[in-house]
């Protein structure tokens, strides 16, 4: 079996890659920064399986850089997407969440790929004011309308020791000061990276699964306050201060500063956080994949 992954050098992609190659799946990986990825391979924990990885230096929006490598591929996995825009640099949701998907879908079809797995986001919808969720939804629809064999994945917040969100919370708790947007009573139901990557590996290798949409959450729902408390307890941190920042004040500063990378949150991200990310059922209960508590991922940071 041969799988082509776009966006596979990010946090989620690296974990999926590890699961697939150890199942002796051949992975063709589209890589924009080859030197950066080579550093990752140098620390790859499963040296015997590196032979199952083929890297292509290219860009998803430049089809000629990778098109020929799709000819004998069984499944394409698209993980490309952004959660933050930098308009002054041409980095926007429309280009990276939708147009990159459209390009990859079109080139995959030209090369007779018949199975496509699309990474979306919990909350993707046509009925939203969020450009993030709207572009994710439109990308989903393009995949569904183009392929006979498709899978759409909508994970909640993903927790893992290499994730930027996880590392940010870890640093704040270690410093002893944790800023909280508003009252912190909005709910989230985060999922562990191990659970998510195990599930995707299962979907790839079980080719009978097709034409499915999966909303993916962890086994437990938290208010954001409870999430921070659980995170700190798992780390063994007892003395820390949660500072609740009024939403209007934070949005004011975000309006002026969110175009700068150093500012930690955008207005769009504030709205997404306040909206919450949870559903009241666990789809994984009907699969052979164990839904691992996020605390198991947090323990790896100790």
Q: Where are the domains of the chain?
A: 2-156+193-216+280-288
pLDDT band of residue 32 (cuts 50, 70, 90) is confident
- Is a pLDDT exceeding 80 seen at residue 34? no
pLDDT tens digits, 229-249: 999 999 999 999 999 999 999
pLDDT of residue 267: 84
What is the distance of C-alpha 189 from the center of its chain?
15
Q: What are the b/e assignments for 176-201, b being 16+ CB within 10 Å?
A: eebebbbebebebbbbbbbbbbbbbb
Kindly report which listed range (120-124, 150-154, 268-272) carries the lowest average pLDDT score.
Answer: 268-272
Strands (E), the chain: 2-6, 26-31, 53-57, 75-78, 115-119, 149-155, 158-159, 177-181, 187-188, 191-192, 212-216, 222-223, 241-245
**What are φ and ψ of residue 248, in 5° steps?**
-60, -40
Task: Spell out the residues 6+ positions from residue 214 whose beta carbon is closer than 8 angstroms to its own.
Answer: 151, 152, 153, 154, 199, 283
Q: Looking at residues 272-287, what average pLDDT do you find?
A: 91
Question: Angle formed by the axes of helices 100-110 and 131-146, to 10°?
Answer: 10
- Is a pLDDT exceeding 80 seen at residue 259? no
Report if pTM > 0.85: yes
pLDDT of residue 93: 94
pLDDT band of residue 43 (cuts 50, 70, 90) is confident
Q: Which two tokens stand for residue 210?
A: 């097709």
CATH fold of 2-156+193-216+280-288 reads: Rossmann fold (3.40.50)
**Integer Cα distance of 133 and 126 in angstroms:** 8
pLDDT of residue 185: 97
- Is a pLDDT exceeding 80 seen at residue 190? yes
pLDDT of residue 233: 97
pLDDT of residue 226: 98
pLDDT band of residue 90 (cuts 50, 70, 90) is confident
Mean pLDDT of the chain: 94
pLDDT band of residue 86 (cuts 50, 70, 90) is confident
Distances (CA, A) of 275 to 7, 135, 184, 268, 278: 27, 17, 11, 11, 9
Match 């920042």 to its residue by tokens: 245
pLDDT band of residue 53 (cuts 50, 70, 90) is very high
Q: Looking at residues 212-229, what average pLDDT do you find?
A: 97
**Integer Cα distance of 69 and 178 in angstroms:** 46
Task: Report the candidate in 3, 20, 60, 11 with the shortest Cα–Cα distance to residue 40.
Answer: 11
- Is a pLDDT exceeding 80 seen at residue 276? yes
pLDDT of residue 102: 98
pLDDT of residue 229: 98
Kindly report which listed range (73-77, 130-134, 252-256, 262-266) carries the lowest average pLDDT score.
Answer: 262-266
- Do β-strands 115-119 and 149-155 pair in parallel, antiparallel, or remain unpaired? parallel
- Is a pLDDT exceeding 90 seen at residue 78? yes
Kindly report which listed range (5-14, 39-48, 94-103, 159-168) carries the lowest average pLDDT score.
Answer: 39-48
pLDDT of residue 201: 97
């Amino acid at each position: 079996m041969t799988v082509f992954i776009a966006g596979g050098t990010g946090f989620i992609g690296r974990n999926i890659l590890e699961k697939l190659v150890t199942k002796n799946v051949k992975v063709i990986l589209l890589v924009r920064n080859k030197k950066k990825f080579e550093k990752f391979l140098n620390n790859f924990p499963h040296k015997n399986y590196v032979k199952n990885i083929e890297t292509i230096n290219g860009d998803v929006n430049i089809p000629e850089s990778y098109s020929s490598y799709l000819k004998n591929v069984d499944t394409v996995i698209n993980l490309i997407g952004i959660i933050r825009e930098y308009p002054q640099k041409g980095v926007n949701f429309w280009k990276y969440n939708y147009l990159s998907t459209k390009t990859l879908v079109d080139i995959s079809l030209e090369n007779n790929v018949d199975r496509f797995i699309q990474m979306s986001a919990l909350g993707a919808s046509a009925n939203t004011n969020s450009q993030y969720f709207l572009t994710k939804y439109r990308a989903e629809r393009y995949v569904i309308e183009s392929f006979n064999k498709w899978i759409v994945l909508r994970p909640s917040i993903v927790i893992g020791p290499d994730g930027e969100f996880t590392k940010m919370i870890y640093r704040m708790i270690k410093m002893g000061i944790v800023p909280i947007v508003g009252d912190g009573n909005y709910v989230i139901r985060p999922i562990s990276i191990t659970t998510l990557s195990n599930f995707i590996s299962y979907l790839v290798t079980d080719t009978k699964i097709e034409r499915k949409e999966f909303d993916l959450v962890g086994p437990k729902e938290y208010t954001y306050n409870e999430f921070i408390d659980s995170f700190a307890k798992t780390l063994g941190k007892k003395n820390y201060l949660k500072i609740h920042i009024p939403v209007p004040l934070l949005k004011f500063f975000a309006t002026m500063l969110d175009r700068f990378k150093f500012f930690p949150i955008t207005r769009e991200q504030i709205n997404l956080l306040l909206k919450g990310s949870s559903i009241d059922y666990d789809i994984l209960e009907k699969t052979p994949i164990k839904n691992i508590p996020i605390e198991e991922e947090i323990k790896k940071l100790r």
